[in-house]
Chains A and B, each alone.
Chain A
């Protein structure tokens, strides 16, 4: 059985939230002030990015790897110190390299 992973629908929703915000930011910086709202919303829809199903699956996998890698690396530190519980100090030590790798 494969390990648990993120819900693709959740990832899709998060992505869409970010893309909608990005699109709004682009609209504000490009359009003149007197552009009617109806026009702005239709152009937003036509420019809005979307992801295909496989890309979502892959994104879930990437996020799952992020979590797994973080826990594993922190666990290695904890083990090296002889502790059986992974604590904040262990995570702190692996965080810089984790963020550089992802």
Chain B
């Protein structure tokens, strides 16, 4: 049993390192774009620092959103849980909330909306039947 746990931990460590590297790749493109926008250069050390910080933050976020979802009696994390993570800063909360509204607006038609669209059609059909009969 113990050796399995050790192997598991070693495996986890290497997976964490892989994720950390992939995080760095994402961060590099975001950071360089941001620095370019402001007309500044950025040292690679800063990018690595910010990336590792963001990685730690992501792992903390995972714990936080899980706690929020469970606190609400849910097993799945939704947008409200993520917005709660930003509660320390009102501007940040507002930015996230408006982003979440955009995401909701861009969603493909839900079943409810499809049903709403169908009802006028059946009304038209009923009206047409009345006229024909």
Contact = CB atoms under 8 A, between A and B. Distances in A.
Interface of A: 3-7, 10-11, 13-15, 17-19, 21-22, 47-52, 54-55, 57-59, 61-68, 70-72, 74-75, 78-79, 84-88, 90-91, 100-102
Nearest to B91: A101
Nearest to A97: B89
Nearest to A58: B82
Chain B interface mostly helix, strand, loop or mixed?
helix
A58 B99 contact: yes
Contact of B49 (A15, A91, A100): A91
A79 B78 contact: no
Contacts of B15: 17
Interface of B: 12, 15-16, 19, 22-23, 26-27, 29-31, 33-35, 38-43, 45-46, 49-51, 53-55, 57-59, 61-63, 65-66, 69-70, 75-79, 81-83, 85-86, 88-89, 92, 95-96, 99-100, 103-104, 107
B95 A65 contact: yes
B105 to A, nearest CB: 11
Given A13-B19, A55-B82, A85-B43, A102 B76 contact: no
B110 to A, nearest CB: 12
